[in-house]
Structure 1
Amino acid sequence: MIVQYAPDSVVADPNFDAEGANAEFAEYAPDIAAASDPTEPGMHRTPSVDYGVVLDGEIWLELDDGAQTRLTRGDTIVQIAARHAWRNKSERPATVAFILTGVSR
């Protein structure tokens, strides 16, 4: 799947329709929406091996322990069922291509 992440400032804007965005997210990515932690927006864990490639922009990978890594165009990431979130601290969208392969626990 290819995901475009809006800048965090868009989500922080008081006019942002969080309810509408959550409904759209649940419609188009129900498995990931179900794996999301409602107490920590964006934080989720999927039962998969995730391979990602940043196609455009800049994105930050935040892990469960608070560690954050900045990724830019061409950077790749592989993670196995890790609890994480994606943060776009820039002022323009970031685009990431993902392949998720299910794993059994």
Structure 2
Amino acid sequence: MVRRVVTGEKDGKSVIFSDGPVANTHDYAAVPGFQTTLAWATLQGMAPLPHDGKDPVVGIQSVVPDPHGTRLLVVQFPPDSSLDSADFDPVAAGAEYEAHLPGLAQAFEPDGSGMHRTASVDYDIIVSGELWLELDDGEMRHLKAGDIVIQNGTRHAWRNRSTMPAVMVAVLIGAETQAAR
């Protein structure tokens, strides 16, 4: 589980408002080893400072931010081989994604390919393990811990072709889509 420390101000002095596990963490029963943590969010427009001490991820309507809003998401990807099990139930997995990744789950294509696109600029940092970024033309890019991907609202999928879990931290910044060039 991710530990989150949140600072703010009280009586003109900096203080720690919270220090502990993130309530919006989910371990997926339908996809063993898959875990998501929505660690922080800002709404459309400027984040008001000083922070008021309220947890902005409680009751969040969408993991995908509105234009100029942000989300901080930590994702643990199990090896792709975990989806090859005879016990894997894609319908149950889809229902769990919809319940715990609102807005993002709906961005995934219904064919089960994992391909998706969001109206956001994402700063993706691989913190452990290995992932492969797949683009819509089939190009695959192998990524290791320390690699950074700037995802600019393009159609893509994440693959874990290794035998170990991989963890990625993603900062999503809501954007407005324009007509393709």
Structure of greater relative contact order (alpha carbons < 8 Å, 6+ residues apart): 1
Which of residues 35, 41, 48 in structure 1 aligns to 2:107? 35
Which of residues 64, 76, 85 in structure 2 aligns to 1:13? 85
Rg larger for? 2
Paired residue total: 105
By how many angstroms is 1:40 displaced?
A: 4.6
Distance across 1 between alignment mates of 2:97 and 2:141: 24
Q: Which runs of 5+ in 1 are unaligned?
A: none
Distance across 2 between alignment mates of 1:43 and 1:31: 15
By how many angstroms is 1:79 displaced?
A: 1.4
Helix, strand or coil at the partner of 1:11: helix
1:1-44 deviations in Å (ceiling 9; x for gaps): 00011111001111113222211111111211111111252100
- Tell me which stretches of 4 or more aligned residues in structure 1 moved more than 3 Å: none
Which residue identity lines up with residue 124 of structure 2 in the other structure? G
Which residue identity lines up with residue 139 of structure 2 in the other structure? A
Name 2:121's counterpart in structure 1.
49
Name 2:159's counterpart in structure 1.
87
Q: Which runs of 5+ in 2 are unaligned?
A: 1-72
Choose 74-83 or 31-40, whichever is displaced more.
31-40
Name 1:76's counterpart in structure 2.
148
Provide the identity percentage. 45
Q: What TM-score results when the alignment is normalised by the length of structure 1?
A: 0.95
Helix, strand or coil at the partner of 1:30: coil
Name 1:4's counterpart in structure 2.
76
Q: What TM-score results when the alignment is normalised by the length of structure 2?
A: 0.56
The alignment status of 1:62 with 2:134, answered yes or no, reads yes
